[in-house]
Chain A
Amino acid sequence: MKTGFYPGCSLNGTSPEYAQSTLALSKAFGITPVEISDWSCCGATAAHNLNHELAVALPARVLALAEQQGFSQILVPCAACYNRLSVTQHALNGSEEQRNALAKTLQMPLSGKLRILNVMQFIEEFIAEKIAEKIVTPFAHKVACYYGCLLVRPHSVLQFDRPEDPQSMDALMAKIGATPISWGYKTECCGAGFSISRTDVVAKLSGKIVKDATERGAEAIIVACPMCQSNLDMRRPHIDSYLKMKTSIPVIYITQAIGLAVGISRKELGLEKLFVPAKNF
């Protein structure tokens, strides 16, 4: 079965290492997700903040393109895109009228039956079983698995893991030899799309996350969302000045962590692209 790949704008722009590491990891396990041709933006936070119709139409185009190109399932590593696409498909399945109208505008099929996989679901389905035999260097570190908001909420739509204290990432990290810590900020908001418009809010919210992970002895924060990653990583100078302390805990994508464990090179995984250096890994 052909799996489509929806990078979305973040993986295509500010977070190339997430795309790189996802594809490198897939390749190492013999899978080649195929990029959805001519994909467009899902609308992200901006669309649903300003214009409800737009917030449905933009993801609908992506879903329709995927169907038209013969994919029955797509991998969406960005948690925000994953959320927008899933919420849209769910909403359209609740309103046949709207779905038909959009399919007509788009002049593409919109069956509403696409499987939309986040990165953890993808790894669980295609990679997890074979991880043990491929491990070269166990990822023997204490880690704080940070899920953020959009991977697990709203649960009624996403039906993935559980909305409080999720476990899927912890389980995957344990598989590569890591020790996931128990901590309080797994699904607390990092400040999301306020990185530019309210950097102070991001510094504070992300600051609490970095502080808790650090104080509980984690050596890295593991993430599966480019927005969370850039808030916790690129905004570290703002975070440190909010916390009034210098923190050095790196923020690593789950695909990079697993990639390292199975022997993929640091360069292929884009580790040098992280702002807070991951030198001990």
Chain B
Amino acid sequence: MSEKKELTSEIRAATGVNVNRCYQCGKCSAGCALNESMDYPPSVVMRMLQTNSAESFDKTLRSQSIWLCASCQCCIARCPMQIDIPRLMDYLRARALEKKTVNRNSKKIVAFHRAFLDSVKYTGRLYEVGLVVGYKARTLSLLQDLSVAPRMLMKGKLPLIPERVKGRKLVKKFFQP
């Protein structure tokens, strides 16, 4: 019983979201643009959290769904209970990173986010070339999008020199836990 209480209250304490308010109408899953590609649709993730079982929680943390959620906010817009599912997804992603249970098929998504933030960490702004190089190094997808880059360059859409923000030291501080 004690475990039962812990999980949902832990989630609530961290996010302010009470998963028990979900009555499984399924509107979130019906509207979710990424649903077809997910292993568990959003309403099922909600149900898994409601069960309070450590096993189900672990399954959500290992799921592809949490990484495929694009935070498009369609679910919360249509939820009759206005449950902030995108906020929950952020929380589950953070926990998955912490517990090192990132879904195997979602590693490229995480690599992209990491490469993006690395660039911001050092310059204060996104440096696209750095992002792509960082992403390719992390995922070994060296040949991806090679045909797009020259066209972007020609159209002036790929600045080669990174811009450095004066306040970047402070920005870098934000990254320290």
The reply to whether A57 and B174 contact each other, CB–CB distance below 8 Å, is yes
B24 at the interface (CB under 8 A from A): no
The reply to whether B132 and A61 contact each other, CB–CB distance below 8 Å, is no
- Return the chain B residue nearest A58 by Cβ: B174
Interface size on B, residues (CB 8 A): 55
Rounded to whole angstroms, the CA-CA distance of A78 and B163 in the bound complex is: 19
A12 at the interface (CB under 8 A from B): yes
The 8 A CB mask of B142-177 against A (1 = contact, 0 = none) is 001100100110011111000101111011011100
Rounded to whole angstroms, the CA-CA distance of A105 and B144 in the bound complex is: 40
A163 at the interface (CB under 8 A from B): yes
The reply to whether B117 and A47 contact each other, CB–CB distance below 8 Å, is yes
Smallest Cβ distance from A178 to chain B, in angstroms?
Answer: 25
Given contacts A57-B174, A189-B33, A196-B144, contact A153 B73 (CB under 8 A): yes
The 8 A CB mask of B83-106 against A (1 = contact, 0 = none) is 000100011011001000000000
The reply to whether B74 and A189 contact each other, CB–CB distance below 8 Å, is yes
B57 at the interface (CB under 8 A from A): no
B-side interface mostly? helix
Which of the four size classes fits the interface of chain A?
A: 35 or more
A-side interface mostly? helix
- Return the chain B residue nearest A273 by Cβ: B155
Of the listed stretches B1-9, B39-47, B48-56, B118-126, name the one at the interface; the rest are far from the partner chain.
B118-126
- Return the chain B residue nearest A83 by Cβ: B73
The reply to whether A192 and B68 contact each other, CB–CB distance below 8 Å, is no
Rounded to whole angstroms, the CA-CA distance of A149 and B108 in the bound complex is: 23
The reply to whether B93 and A50 contact each other, CB–CB distance below 8 Å, is yes
A109 at the interface (CB under 8 A from B): no
Rounded to whole angstroms, the CA-CA distance of A118 and B131 in the bound complex is: 26
What residues on B are CB-neighbors of A154 within 8 Å? 73, 76-77, 86
The reply to whether B108 and A234 contact each other, CB–CB distance below 8 Å, is no
What residues on A are CB-neighbors of B126 within 8 Å? 9, 13, 41, 44
The reply to whether A188 and B125 contact each other, CB–CB distance below 8 Å, is no
A43 at the interface (CB under 8 A from B): yes
Given B37, B68, B114, which contacts A50 in the complex, CB threshold below 8 Å?
B114
The reply to whether B113 and A40 contact each other, CB–CB distance below 8 Å, is no
The reply to whether A50 and B71 contact each other, CB–CB distance below 8 Å, is no
Given contacts A50-B97, A52-B90, A197-B108, contact A191 B70 (CB under 8 A): yes
- By a beta-carbon cutoff of 8 Å, the part of chain A in contact with chain B is 9, 12-16, 38-41, 43-55, 57-58, 61, 65, 105-106, 149-150, 153-156, 163-164, 187-189, 191-194, 196-199, 201, 205, 234, 272-273, 275
